[in-house]
Amino acid sequence: MKNKDEIESATSIPAAVAPTASARVRLRPLDPTGVVIEDGLLAERQRVNREVTLLRGAEELERAGTLENLRIAAGRARGSRRGMVFSDSDVYKWLEALAWEIGREPSAELERLAHETIDLVAAAQEPDGYLNSWCQVVDPAWRWTDLEMGHELYCAGHLIQAGVAFARTTGDVSLLTVARRFADLIVDVFGSDGHTGTDGHPEIEVALVELYRQTGERRYLEMADTLTSRRGFGTFAGGRFDLPYYQDAEPVREARSIVGHAVRALYLAAGVTDIYAETGDEALLGSMLRQWDDLVSAKMYLTGGIGSRHHDESIGDPYELPPDRAYCETCAAIASIMWNWRMLLVTGESRFADLLERTLYNGFLSGHSLDGESFFYVNALQSRTGDRRHNWNPVACCPPNVMRLLASLHHYLATTTDTGIQLHQYASSRIRAVCPVAGPVELAVKADYPWSGTIEVEIVSTGDVEWTLSLRVPAWARAAILDGAPVTPGGYADLTRTWRVGDKVTLEIDVSPRLTAPNPRIDAVRGCLALERGPVVYCFEEQDLPADADLADVAVDPAAEPVDRGPVEPLGGVPGVAVAGVVRDLDGWRQSEYRDLRELPAASAAPTQLLAVPYFAWANRNEGGMRVWIPTTD
Amino acid sequence: MKNKDEIESATSIPAAVAPTASARVRLRPLDPTGVVIEDGLLAERQRVNREVTLLRGAEELERAGTLENLRIAAGRARGSRRGMVFSDSDVYKWLEALAWEIGREPSAELERLAHETIDLVAAAQEPDGYLNSWCQVVDPAWRWTDLEMGHELYCAGHLIQAGVAFARTTGDVSLLTVARRFADLIVDVFGSDGHTGTDGHPEIEVALVELYRQTGERRYLEMADTLTSRRGFGTFAGGRFDLPYYQDAEPVREARSIVGHAVRALYLAAGVTDIYAETGDEALLGSMLRQWDDLVSAKMYLTGGIGSRHHDESIGDPYELPPDRAYCETCAAIASIMWNWRMLLVTGESRFADLLERTLYNGFLSGHSLDGESFFYVNALQSRTGDRRHNWNPVACCPPNVMRLLASLHHYLATTTDTGIQLHQYASSRIRAVCPVAGPVELAVKADYPWSGTIEVEIVSTGDVEWTLSLRVPAWARAAILDGAPVTPGGYADLTRTWRVGDKVTLEIDVSPRLTAPNPRIDAVRGCLALERGPVVYCFEEQDLPADADLADVAVDPAAEPVDRGPVEPLGGVPGVAVAGVVRDLDGWRQSEYRDLRELPAASAAPTQLLAVPYFAWANRNEGGMRVWIPTTD
């Protein structure tokens, strides 16, 4: 195996996303080893991930046979391969999570698990660099024959991301060496004179760019660009799904809208944004901006969740956003966070950090139980009968994806430019940054965010020069005050000063609860309102209703002011919100679905106070119905 | 082959559903050879089916390889089998359609097609009676090994129904002989000492009851009962779908609600109702009544369509009725018509004839283009971008199912009891019936139904005795007048007289257009109204809007009276209906999906007249959006 020095790096930043020095980015990630989330909701999620979820991952990968598949491929075990064709990627995502977590804080147990598993992965690799337990165990002739649904390059992408993560956090390049050998084979096979196909499931693109960034080898970037440019010519025509599903209906540079399988669309978008960052190909950025605008104007759920259809896990038509049959795969939320972080780096625009925040606190966190033991694959905004998170899934893409994002959450708090530091996400934290003008700077942030909107930033260390501290003021805020003066929501509040150690600034964002209305074109939630508090979307759980009330019969008074109602203890003390509403008596409708408008039954309604809890925390108590959107009393 | 006389019949009625003399039915079907639909919408659909659709069926079955599969099985051709595992059933349903059509009116061409195809089917049968081209051509070892998804008994059921249809209409028992040989094998294999399984897709139950009725052999009825009684014990646990999908979650006699795959649920319900009729097992009828109540109170679309989910083609949760993602498979509408006819025979209650009518004129007819050339598999109640009917489908269950129902539509108009004749569906028609009290009776019905509500019934022939003529007065009617006197909608108006030849009665049903409101629990159409006219559900097509208006921005005034607006010529002169509404200006919402309730954009709306056309006739002109449910201006 090579050691770290033998692999030349084009980047000096050991973060999950690490643009090269010449990348077209307005903002640069920090070295995450200098960032610690110390307290609050995000710290608690990282703790649970470390202490519970990552270890469950090891058990479940064993129980599902996913690790055993690699042992069989490595000749260390005998038996039949189990699980989905793409299940190797579950191991790689879990390894990536281990890498970020070990980088965050060493752990003998996690390091042992990582070492053993990397050794296993290396042992399973073929002499020519190929690595895929389905092909190796089930059918060696299958190699590269099912690009539509085979997920070979997809799995390779996750292997590469894991290899890069270990190289960046522990300096151990053993997994990166495995990944590079496979990547080199892929470049040989899929390079310009070779196989002209691309993968039915994007993912390798974002991985190959990072491999380029990690190794300095431009051919990986070129391979990512080539694979991307092969899309949109109907290669997958006649396949199991339609062309948009595979991101194969329009060439990426010409795409007018965001379509198809949500995770495929969003992984590709993350990769394309990275390719733009490293190549400066403006057609790619133009496509990304068009797709993002299309997403947020007509195809995204209030939770940041994406994917309106179960049938093909796809983004639906514009305004097709059913709350009950929302798909909103947890992986799609994670992919959206990946994409928005890259768009933020490239553009420096706060709207991308706003959407990252919306997705993080809602459509992403809902996928992980508070105790860290179970997961939602689908994150609906309404359930009539209640849902239960699963310990693991036959398609287990989401759980290890949750783990790798939680283990690297601190990568996404802040950035630097030549002239300053930008805070995008708020948490009680220590942030060390090196900015060309200011030199090394350390900030101490105190923020019981998202529950409180008060953010105190103290300068712990700074050079004696002028630099700019930028604080994101979310667009959802009704008001915000920075050191006593109002600032406009929807951008960054910039403070350019010659900072001194001990200087403090306080940003106060109004996080008081508010009612939110949907675009009238969103048919499925017409006549309803939602309740938000700061960046957190709330929901109504059946178990919080008055006895005998049915969640189907509840309505909210649009004139009412929702008010805080103190911590909901069984949910770890998250703040509840109360709002005035009614429980309608629909007895007159029994046994009939449709009535002549002239002959509607008499209606009555009993006033009540409705308790709402954060959407991400639903389905953590008793099983029962839930809804984000509530009809109005009008 | 046996001739007709060698097969003893337990029934004397050559109709699609022919209860035995001892059956627990309150109403008895007529001999359909005495019923002719002479003019109007249903006559036109029967004509188009005969002249266009049945012949297209022959071509498409050839093009798809479905007939060739049987030739390969018969050793008359070589090649690979094509199409779905259950595609033999497409041939059988088409044959059944030919049988009813030939019975309706002889046709040398249709008889030639039938004869050739029956000869082919007979040639494909194995010596032991087995017949399934998938098994015979692809894998002989597969026989009875995949009851979950293999559809072997399902295909056998359609073969039996076709065989029975020919025996009843043409007296040719050659196909019935094939069907009986297969049925005898099935009884041997699945009888009480044999294989203890049942089929993942119900259908054979309804067929075996009819085979019993046709042959008098009680073991077919017992086999149907046995297969039904094996459901509900989790035989299909661990399968591709959940237990409700296969009608395997609860024993049929204990079922509390209607669940699972819509076509499976409804074919089974038709069969169970028939088993009740022939056995008198009240637990079965109780289950049917519970399931029907559940259906119409919470799980049915306004069109009579059933099936809310694409993912597993299933009935959803109560009140889960999205108009855009409605599945409403055409086969489910047909199966619902089959079930409701049987429930009508068993109970004599008009609500079943009402639902048959609703389904016939809306969720069923929408599946067939006006020119008879193409089909909808899915019958959504909203399309944002427009849909186009298909000439045929890889899963081609619906087209021949449409054909067999259209060819037998006249079976469903009227019934007899010991003391009279009941008219359930109205069309200009001649109806001959034999009723024990009245003896042979002939009625001439004049009715431009459903467009006009005036129904004139003339007694053309009658014995000189007192008997009762019963006319259904639909529950949807606001008013109805029989010979000048008001009658109450929602039941039968009974006229008991000593009828004379030339007597006439006139029923006037108010079919003026009306606005319909949904149960407030149906989330997906909250704040919307639909427009109905008589039994016909109307819809709004984008092409009928004012120029530049978007169907997403249209709203209807709930205080407005919809009014007739004369024939819409490109749709064969179906009457249009106009209603006052507005086109809203939603420009203020551009680029945003969700807004703080305190910061909603200014709204304006331009008054307009909205033209509606019958839902079943949509997608017959230019492609474009459509919606049944329209937001109100409130």
Helices and strands: H and E segment counts in chain B: 15, 25
Rounded to the nearest angstrom, the gap between the alpha carbon of residue A165 and the centroid of all alpha carbons in its chain is 17
Residues of B in contact with A600 (CB under 8 A): 517
Task: Find the catalytic residue in A152, A313, A532, A542.
Answer: A313
pLDDT at residue number A394: 87
pLDDT > 70: what percent of chain B? Answer: 99
Contact B528 A528 (CB under 8 A): no
Residues of B in contact with A524 (CB under 8 A): 322, 523-524
Contact B516 A558 (CB under 8 A): no
Half-sphere exposure of B471 (CA within 13 A, CB side): 28
Give the CA diameter of chain B: 81
Nearest by CB to A322, which of B514, B524, B600? B524
pLDDT > 70: what percent of chain A? Answer: 99
Closest Cα in chain B to A316: B325
Nearest by CB to A297, which of B523, B524, B591? B591
pLDDT at residue number A12: 77
* A9 pLDDT higher than 90: no
Q: Please give, rounded to a whole number of angstroms, the shortest distance from the CA of A339 to a CA of chain B.
A: 19
Non-local CB neighbours of A323 within 8 Å, separated by 6+ positions: A301, A380, A381, A382, A524, A525, A627, A628, A629, B523
Whether A372 contacts A52, CB under 8 Å: yes
Contact B528 A524 (CB under 8 A): no
Contact A293 B631 (CB under 8 A): no
Nearest by CB to A297, which of B309, B318, B590? B590
Report strand pairing: A604-614 vs A554-556: unpaired
Digit-coded pLDDT (tens) for B497-537: 999 999 999 999 999 999 999 999 999 999 999 999 999 99
Cis link prior to A450 (omega < 30° from 0)?
A: yes
Closest Cα in chain A to B588: A519
Digit-coded pLDDT (tens) for B95-132: 999 999 999 999 999 999 999 999 999 999 999 999 99
Active site amino acids of B:
313, 397
Q: Please give, rounded to a whole number of angstroms, the shortest distance from the CA of B601 to a CA of chain A.
A: 10
The residue among A351, A597, A600, A634 with the most chain B CBs within 10 A of its CB, best to mutate, is A597
Residue B327 CB neighbours (<10 A): 27
Residue A493 pairs in a beta bridge with A471
Rounded to the nearest angstrom, the gap between the alpha carbon of residue A424 and the centroid of all alpha carbons in its chain is 15
SS3 letters for B245-293? Answer: HHCCCCCHHHCCCCCEEHHHHHHHHHHHHHHHHHHCCHHHHHHHHHHHH
Q: Grade residue B548 by pLDDT with cuts at 50, 70 and 90.
A: confident
Whether A396 contacts A66, CB under 8 Å: yes
Contact B300 A600 (CB under 8 A): no
Residues of B in contact with A526 (CB under 8 A): 526-528, 631
Report strand pairing: A536-541 vs A626-627: antiparallel
Task: Find the catalytic residue in A155, A331, A397, A398.
Answer: A397
Helices and strands: H and E segment counts in chain A: 15, 25
Whether B534 contacts B478, CB under 8 Å: no
Q: Please give, rounded to a whole number of angstroms, the shortest distance from the CA of B448 to a CA of chain A.
A: 23
Contact A529 B597 (CB under 8 A): yes
Q: Please give, rounded to a whole number of angstroms, the shortest distance from the CA of B368 to a CA of chain A.
A: 24
d(CA B152, CA B180): 15
Q: Grade residue B8 by pLDDT with cuts at 50, 70 and 90.
A: low
Mean pLDDT across B576-582: 97
Digit-coded pLDDT (tens) for A361-410: 999 999 999 999 999 999 999 999 999 999 998 899 999 999 999 999 99
d(CA B348, CA B358): 17
* A3 pLDDT higher than 80: no
Digit-coded pLDDT (tens) for A211-248: 999 999 999 999 999 999 999 999 999 999 999 999 99
Residues of A in contact with B323 (CB under 8 A): 523
Contact B595 A517 (CB under 8 A): yes
d(CA B493, CA B481): 10
Digit-coded pLDDT (tens) for B599-613: 999 889 999 999 999
Contact A586 B311 (CB under 8 A): no
* B194 pLDDT higher than 90: no
Q: Where does B98-225 show beta strands of DSSP type E?
A: none
Contact A593 B514 (CB under 8 A): no
Average pLDDT along chain B = 96
Q: Please give, rounded to a whole number of angstroms, the shortest distance from the CA of A554 to a CA of chain B.
A: 10
* B146 pLDDT higher than 90: yes
pLDDT at residue number A1: 37
Copy the structure tokens of residue B442.
């002939």
Contact B520 A596 (CB under 8 A): no
pLDDT at residue number A10: 76
Residues of A in contact with B584 (CB under 8 A): 520
> Residue holding tokens 């990552």?
A54
Q: Helix H segments across B10-65?
A: 41-48, 54-63
Rounded to the nearest angstrom, the gap between the alpha carbon of residue B506 and the centroid of all alpha carbons in its chain is 29
Nearest by CB to A517, which of B515, B597, B631? B597
Digit-coded pLDDT (tens) for A279-330: 999 999 999 999 999 999 999 999 999 999 999 999 999 999 999 999 999 9
Residues of A in contact with B362 (CB under 8 A): none
Mean pLDDT across B462-482: 97
Whether B34 contacts B444, CB under 8 Å: no
Give, in order, the Cα–Cα distances in Å from A360 to each of A40, A274, A455, A551, B298.
14, 21, 18, 27, 36
Contact B596 A516 (CB under 8 A): yes
Residues of A in contact with B631 (CB under 8 A): 520, 526
Digit-coded pLDDT (tens) for B57-97: 999 999 999 999 999 999 999 999 999 999 999 999 999 99
Mean pLDDT across A109-128: 98
Contact A514 B596 (CB under 8 A): yes
Give, in order, the Cα–Cα distances in Å from A23 to each of A287, A338, B333.
18, 17, 59
Nearest to A272 by CA among A320, A339, A219, A330: A339
Q: Grade residue B12 by pLDDT with cuts at 50, 70 and 90.
A: confident
The residue among A532, A594, A595, A598 with the most chain B CBs within 10 A of its CB, best to mutate, is A594
DSSP string of B358-401, one letter each residue = HIIIIIIGGGB-TTSS-B-SS--SEESS----BS--SS-SHHHH
Contact B302 A385 (CB under 8 A): no
* Lowest-confidence region among B174-183, B361-370, B564-573: B564-573
SS3 letters for B457-473? Answer: EEEEECCCCEEEEEEEE
> Residue holding tokens 């179906």?
B574
Residues of B in contact with A558 (CB under 8 A): 597
Any idea what the Cα angle at residue B21 is, between residues B20 and B23, rounded to 5°?
65
Digit-coded pLDDT (tens) for A121-135: 999 999 999 999 999
Residues of A in contact with B598 (CB under 8 A): 478, 514
ipTM of the complex in this document:
0.93
pLDDT at residue number A512: 97
Q: Please give, rounded to a whole number of angstroms, the shortest distance from the CA of B592 to a CA of chain A.
A: 5
Contact A516 B323 (CB under 8 A): no
Nearest to B266 by CA among B248, B291, B283, B238: B291
Nearest to A219 by CA among A192, A198, A199: A192
d(CA B113, CA B102): 11
d(CA B372, CA B361): 15
Mean pLDDT across B541-546: 95
pLDDT at residue number A389: 96
Residues of A in contact with B594 (CB under 8 A): 302, 516-519, 530
Digit-coded pLDDT (tens) for A475-485: 999 999 999 99
Average pLDDT along chain A = 96
Q: Grade residue A8 by pLDDT with cuts at 50, 70 and 90.
A: low
* A569 pLDDT higher than 90: no
pLDDT at residue number A292: 98
d(CA A540, CA A629): 9
Copy the structure tokens of residue A84.
């989905």
* B4 pLDDT higher than 70: no
Any idea what the Cα angle at residue A402 is, between residues A397 and A408, rounded to 5°?
130
